[in-house]
Structure 1
Amino acid sequence: MSINLKNTHVIIIAISVVSLLAAYLAEYIFLLAPCPLCVYQRFPYLIFIMLGIISLSSQYSYRKYYITVAIISIIIAFYHTGIERGVFELSSFCKPLVSVSDNISVADFKKMLYHKEIALCNKPALVIFGLSMTEWNLLLNIFLLTMLFMFKNKSKSY
C-alpha cells in the first residue's frame, strides 16, 4: 500500500506537532525537566514541520531530506536510549542544563537546587508501558522513516 505524497506531508506535520506538544506538556504542565539529549530530539520535529510546510507549497518531493532528518533523529534517539539503558557511557552531550558560576553564594545555590529540576540523560523522567519517552520517540521515528519509504514519489525529487 502506498500513501499519497500530499497526505504524507500533512501526516508528518501532524505527527511532529503532536510530538512537540507532548514534550512541552511533559515539561511545562507535568514539570518533568528535559535532559540535553531530550531537547536535541525536538529539533528534527521542527525541521519536519518546516519541510512539510515547504513541501505542501511546492511541486518537488523533498523525500531525501525527510529521510535524512528521520535517520538523524533515529540516531539521536538510539544513542539516548543506549545511555538510558546503560549501553553507552554519559558524554559531554549530557551536561545538565543548569550552570553554576564561580561566585555564587550558598543561599543562591540552595535556592537554585530547590527550584530547578536537574535532568540526567541516563534517568528517564517518564516511563509509559515500560518504555521511556526516548524509546517512544525512537519507535515513532522508525515509523516515520518506514512511512517515508512507502509514499508514492510522482513529483520531481529536489
Structure 2
Amino acid sequence: MNGYSDGFSPRLIALTAAAGSAALLIAALGFQALGYAPCELCILQRWPHLAAAIVGLLIWRLGFNRWLALLGVIAALTATGLAIYHAGVEMKLWLGPQHCSGGVSGLAQMSTQDLMTALEAAPVVRCDEIAWSLFGISMAGWNAVISAGLSGLWLAALRGRKRASGIA
C-alpha cells in the first residue's frame, strides 16, 4: 500500500491525468490521419495537452512535487478554456478569430484584386464549422468535457499531496 487511505497516491492521479492528455493528442492525430484536417483552434488546443503530458513524464521520472502538479493544473485548465472557446465559436455563441472563421475585414476598402487575393489566402479549414460530432457534441466540445475532467484529476493530485504533507 502507498500510505494513502484511498489507495491512490497523488503521483498516480497525476500520471493518469497526463496519460489522458496524451490519449487526447493521439486521438487528435488519429482523426487527422483519417482525413479530418484541424483548424487553427484545433491545433492550438493540442499545446496544453502536450505540456500536461510532458509534466507527467517529469513526474514519472523525477517523482511527484506540487510545482509540477501545479503546472499540470495550469495546462489542463488552459486546454479546457481553449476547448470551451472553440466549442462556443462552433455553436456561434461568439465570434472566433477572423482569419479562421472565414471573415475578411476591410471589404469596403479592398479592390477586386485585393479581395481575390485575400479569399485565395483564406484557410481551407474553418474554426466555426463542426467537422465531426458524437451525440451532438463536437470534437471541441468533447475536448472541453474531457479536459475539465483531467483538470479535476490534476487538482485532486495537488490536493492529495497537500493532505499527505499536512497542509489543509
Matched length: 138
Shift of 1:95: 6.2
Matched, 1:5 2:40: no
Aligned AA for 1:134?
Answer: A
TM (norm. structure 2) is 0.72
Measured in 2, the distance between the counterparts of 1:13 and 1:43 equals: 13
Provide the alpha-carbon RMSD of the alignment: 2.6
Pick closer, same or farther for the CA change 1:144–1:93 going to 2, 3 Å: farther
Question: Counterpart in 1 of 2:137?
Answer: 131
Spell out, residue by residue over 1:49-74, the C-alpha distance to the aligned partner (whole angstroms, 9 max, x if none): 11011112224232211111112111
Mean alpha-carbon deviation: is it higher for 146-155 or for 45-54?
146-155
Measured in 1, the distance between the counterparts of 2:48 and 2:7 equals: 24
Question: Counterpart in 2 of 1:18?
Answer: 23
Question: Counterpart in 2 of 1:114?
Answer: none
Aligned AA for 1:69?
Answer: A
> Between Structure 1 and Structure 2, whose CA radius of gyration is higher?
2
| Identity in percent | 24
Matched, 1:69 2:66: no
Spell out, residue by residue over 1:92-141, the C-alpha distance to the aligned partner (whole angstroms, 9 max, x if none): 46268xxxxx9xxxxxx8xxxxxxx9211111111011100000000011
Aligned AA for 1:9?
Answer: A
Question: Counterpart in 2 of 1:56?
Answer: 60
* Larger RCO, structures 1/2 (Cα 8 Å, 6+ apart): 1
Q: Secondary structure at the match of 2:71?
A: helix
Q: Is the 8 A contact 2:21 2:53 kept in 1?
A: yes
Instruction: Pick one of 148, 154, 157 that aligns with 1:142.
Output: 148
Q: Which has the higher helix share?
A: 2
For structure 2, the residue ranges without an aligned partner over 5 or more in a row are 1-5, 103-112, 114-119
Q: Secondary structure at the match of 1:26?
A: helix
TM (norm. structure 1) is 0.76
Question: Counterpart in 1 of 2:105?
Answer: none
Moved over 4 A (4+): none
